Structure 1
Amino acid sequence: MIMTRRVFGALACATGMALSSAGAFAQANLTAETSSAGNSPHLSITHMADVLSEEGIASLQVQEGQTLTNSIINVAEGKTDVAALPLILRFLLEKGRGPFSKQGENGAKLAANLRALYPYNAGAFGLIAHESSNITKWEDIKGKTVFNGPPRGAALVNARQAIQMAAGFKDGEDYKGYQANWGQLANILVDGSADAFVVPLTFPSERVIIALSAGNVNIVSTPKHIFEGEAFGKLLKAPGNIPIVVKAEDMGYGEGQGVTLISEDGIFRGMGTAFADIVHKDMSTELAKAITAAYIKHIDDLKAKAPYARNIGVGNLDPDASGFCGPLSMKYHPGAVAAWEEAGYTVPDCAK
């Protein structure tokens, strides 16, 4: 699906300190790619489209429901201006691994073209299952059919890792992995074709809310002793992974809503998926700065657009929380750095 946000006329006068130094340039016509509706990558990109329209900075044509593995190649090759990026894909592209194995050494050249504007996350991997399935712990998925993401990409890699760490199970050996595109997930959540789901969950999660239409839902946290163990700690430091810890009372589900958190201490723990919205390195500093400054100016509006938006790390540039630095060589666009710093934020030196 393609959505277009258009604004006509000259570039509006920038409002506020963050936008005042963006410089004068003709209004841009930009293209963007993002995932299906109902998650933070979609929310972030469509919010950007609205903001850029409101500020008179750009018209943004958004293609929804895209496979982000392909989207970032399009940005790297200059075919698309903006895309949502799971940070693990940047690492895999640079190394020519996983879904980018056919790129070989060309992967590093493509990865070098990508720059981030701002970070956020797509929630944390948790196990969800209908109460009627009698799945109350990770080991209960043995021999079951488990939806674990699209046929290729970062989500499938991470879901398999989360399951192996929590239960020691491998896809195809201990359980039957069920893969389908994100656009099909809403139906799968309610049609009984999967016994359980290991997917990124925001707080609250639209995926859980959809599943509730077919019965009460259990959300199973990663066991505390595993989450705090050495092996899981190493996993959390891998490119694109971040720790997410949320108290039950902050997850967004009230009493009697049919959602049960299964955890030793009323706290959800899971491996989070770090994201950023990215552009090509050759985007002008002025335009990248104006886009980022507009985004910063409207952070509170973003948090008001969806109940889960306050829990996805918007505006948190800390390396541990955002997934930047360490083994990940991803950098912010110089224009984005300027916008964040002018707004009073600290951008880690390792991400500049």
Structure 2
Amino acid sequence: MFKHMIAKSVVAAGLLMTPVAALAQATLTAETTSPGSTPHYIDTTLAAVLESAGIATLQITEGATLTNSVQAVAEGQLDMAPAPLILPFLLAKGIGPYSGIGPDRGAELAGNLRAIFFTAASAQIFGHYDSGAISDIRNLEGMRIWNGPPRGAALTSGRATVQLLAGLKDDGEGYESVQSPWPDTVSTITGGGADGWTIPEGLPSGRQIAIAAAGATKIYDIPSDLLNSELGQQIASAPGHAPYSVPVEEYRAAYAGNDITIVTDDDTFDSYATAFAQIVPANLDEDLVYKITTAYLEGQARFETGSPRGPYLFMTFGDLDGTSQGVCGAVDMRLHPGAVRAYEDAGHAVADCLRP
């Protein structure tokens, strides 16, 4: 049985790759987000798949800040993590949350990252309580908006969403930006710390259900005119984003029985997803990665049926063209050689731009 570690700090010591690969069943360190989130579901399901196959035991730290997790994988201190693709992009340039590293060291570290699969399940939403101060998502001036943890990909997307919806920049003027670590998100919002919130969420989101337990809420997609505007298309195609569209009736059905109203201006829930890669160090043993990726591909049904959010994970169980995964453009994220071999042995095509 895999060892399930609940902690908030980065795992400081990964296991050496060569001895690990030699064991019948490897023990690998991993970090993920808080329970109730899509990356958490994917990672814990992957752990169960690998354990059942006798391939690896994942020691998972929950509630991690993925900005730190990505750097830990790049430095070889961690074996696996879900990575919002904006983070390797920023790391490679040594900017944003990685500005202290600098471009040279950042590029070196980013070059140590490899993907084993991709997903784009968490789409940006905007929400507020029915009884709260917000009545128009295009008029947020003076409001307190929860827009992410203190730093990272979600905060970047959250700031962009408020700018797109209401024309307000997160510079301390126009609206009050509220941030908290992921494990404190629900308590911050339900405790009255924010008038509204914008968060990348899977479908359905346990976090949104928990928030609605404290009072009726509304969840909005990105209005069509804003999404199709020049700024909207810039944000939707920005590094780390991917298109997201689900029939609105399916979206509503996912929250049936909860006090949540879904608001759209047409028959689809349209937004931009946070594109993710499941990353490992480039020097992780190729045969081990091949076995991990093969087990992942063979476990498709388990991922898709183990949770109501399963059909909306948008995980890569088929051909990989790169563009649909949010890479092969501004974001340069290559597959691990072991993953390439696993996809091709399963009969799937892999674009040249994804090859290491």
Structure 1 length-normalised TM: 0.90
CA distance in 1, matches of 2:308, 2:136: 27
Structure 1 residue 143 displacement after superposition: 0.8
For 1:203, the equivalent position in structure 2 comes to: 203
Q: Deviations over 1:259-305 (max 9, x none)?
A: 22222113222121011111010112111110011011111101122
- Name the Cα RMSD after superposition: 1.9
For 1:175, the equivalent position in structure 2 comes to: 175
Relative distance call for 1:63 and 1:255 in structure 2 (3 A) is: closer
Q: Contact 1:241 / 1:273 at 8 angstroms: preserved in 2? A: yes
CA distance in 2, matches of 1:42, 1:204: 13
Q: Secondary structure, in 3 states, of the residue corresponding to 1:293? A: helix
For 1:11, the equivalent position in structure 2 comes to: none
Q: Contact 1:240 / 1:273 at 8 angstroms: preserved in 2? A: yes
2:164 is aligned with what amino acid? M
2:166 is aligned with what amino acid? A
Q: Contact 1:253 / 1:259 at 8 angstroms: preserved in 2? A: no
For 1:94, the equivalent position in structure 2 comes to: 92
For 1:157, the equivalent position in structure 2 comes to: 156
CA distance in 2, matches of 1:255, 1:309: 16
Q: Contact 1:136 / 1:218 at 8 angstroms: preserved in 2? A: no
Relative distance call for 1:348 and 1:220 in structure 2 (3 A) is: same
Q: Secondary structure, in 3 states, of the residue corresponding to 1:290? A: helix
CA distance in 1, matches of 2:243, 2:137: 18
For 1:46, the equivalent position in structure 2 comes to: 44
Question: Mind listing any 5+ residue stretches in structure 2 that lack a counterpart?
Answer: 5-20
For 2:147, the equivalent position in structure 1 comes to: 148
Structure 1 residue 327 displacement after superposition: 1.0
Q: Which stretch of the first structure deviates more once superposed, 78-87 or 221-230? A: 221-230
Q: Which stretch of the first structure deviates more once superposed, 158-167 or 98-107? A: 158-167
Q: Contact 1:136 / 1:262 at 8 angstroms: preserved in 2? A: no
CA distance in 2, matches of 1:136, 1:248: 21
Q: Secondary structure, in 3 states, of the residue corresponding to 2:63? A: coil
For 1:343, the equivalent position in structure 2 comes to: 346
For 2:247, the equivalent position in structure 1 comes to: 247
Q: Contact 2:254 / 2:308 at 8 angstroms: preserved in 1? A: no
Please list, as runs of the form range in 1=range in 2, the aligned pairs for 1:174-193 lying within 5 A after superposition.
Answer: 174-193=174-193
CA distance in 2, matches of 1:82, 1:208: 27
Q: 4+ residue stretches of structure 1 with deviation over 6 A?
A: none
2:238 is aligned with what amino acid? A
Structure 1 residue 26 displacement after superposition: 3.2
Question: How many residues get paired?
Answer: 334
For 1:12, the equivalent position in structure 2 comes to: none
For 1:328, the equivalent position in structure 2 comes to: 331
Q: Secondary structure, in 3 states, of the residue corresponding to 2:100? A: helix
Q: Secondary structure, in 3 states, of the residue corresponding to 1:214? A: coil
CA distance in 1, matches of 2:333, 2:94: 15
More helix by share: 1
CA distance in 2, matches of 1:170, 1:331: 33
Q: Which stretch of the first structure deviates more once superposed, 213-222 or 290-299? A: 213-222
Q: Contact 2:2 / 2:51 at 8 angstroms: preserved in 1? A: no
Identity %: 40
CA distance in 2, matches of 1:70, 1:193: 26
| Match status 1:279 vs 2:287 | no
Structure 2 length-normalised TM: 0.89
CA distance in 2, matches of 1:84, 1:32: 9
Q: Contact 2:343 / 2:350 at 8 angstroms: preserved in 1? A: yes
CA distance in 2, matches of 1:76, 1:42: 20
Q: Contact 1:189 / 1:207 at 8 angstroms: preserved in 2? A: no
For 2:16, the equivalent position in structure 1 comes to: none
CA distance in 2, matches of 1:231, 1:152: 22
